[in-house]
Amino acid sequence: MEKDKFIIAKKKFNSRLIVGTGKYKNMSECAKAVKLSGAEIVTVAVRRVNITDKKKPLLMDFIDPKKITYLPNTAGCFNSKEALRTLRLAREIGGWKLVKLEVLGDKKNLFPEMIETLKSTEVLAKEGFKVMVYCNDDPLMAKRLENSGAKAIMPLAAPIGSGLGILNKVNIKIIRNQTKLPLIIDAGLGQASDAAIAMELGCDGVLVNTAIAKAKKPFEMALAFKNAVLAGRQSYQSGRIAKVLMGRASSPKKGII
């Protein structure tokens, strides 16, 4: 397991858990949860983060970008134009090229708008961005994103913040079998066991925000997700037994007294 590295766009990480930085009570709580989770990547909503007003707390004062990889995202963008402008701004401000693309289709369900997402991916890839893409769990669209230059596929498990867990395991397994890109479950997880299931399906990682930030005990939940990702990955690599319809005796049939 020590040699089992998580690689995105040729960069290696030890932790396969990515943590969001929104929805916490304050930045101090966020920083502690990130530390306990063991995450080495945190998502940052460029349109919502305070970057210039030094009178207000800065995320960088609580989470050191030299130790933790910042993943700027386009949360709150509803078309390609907004998303492209946001990530170009992130590049100008912080030099970030590894980014998370998120183009939403509506404000109620927050499902990805895949036509605009695909269009944005093509443009960003040509501009040299290393794009991790939030998307639906459609295997055909996932393949189109891969062919368009995406560096990671990030299908939702369920609607953002819903806590419903993985609703379509079959599609996730199909996407896993057809792509060599990192496959990261993004959105909809509610508890640590959801992360373990994602890893057992063969996903390379999970992204969690609400499930930790809004838990009754966020610090304990951060630890739970850390352990679940490790256990799920180890379970996947161990090779589960085949499913059968009939019972099979666990003790030997020969030598019975």
**Which residues are the active-site residues?**
100
Cβ(21)–Cβ(30) below 8 Å: yes
Q: What is the number of H-type helices and E-type strands within the chain?
A: 8, 10
Helices (H), the chain: 27-37, 80-94, 114-126, 139-147, 169-178, 192-200, 210-213, 218-238
Q: What sign results for the dihedral spanned by CA atoms 49, 52, 55, 57?
A: positive
- Cα gap 130→152, rounded to integer Å: 9
Nearest to 80 by CA among 111, 127, 120: 120
Nearest to 37 by CA among 203, 167, 195, 237: 195
Cβ(71)–Cβ(18) below 8 Å: yes
| 76 residue type, one letter | G
Spell 96-105 as b/e; 16+ CB within 10 A means b.
bbbbbbbbbb
Using DSSP's 3-state secondary structure scheme, residue 44 falls into strand
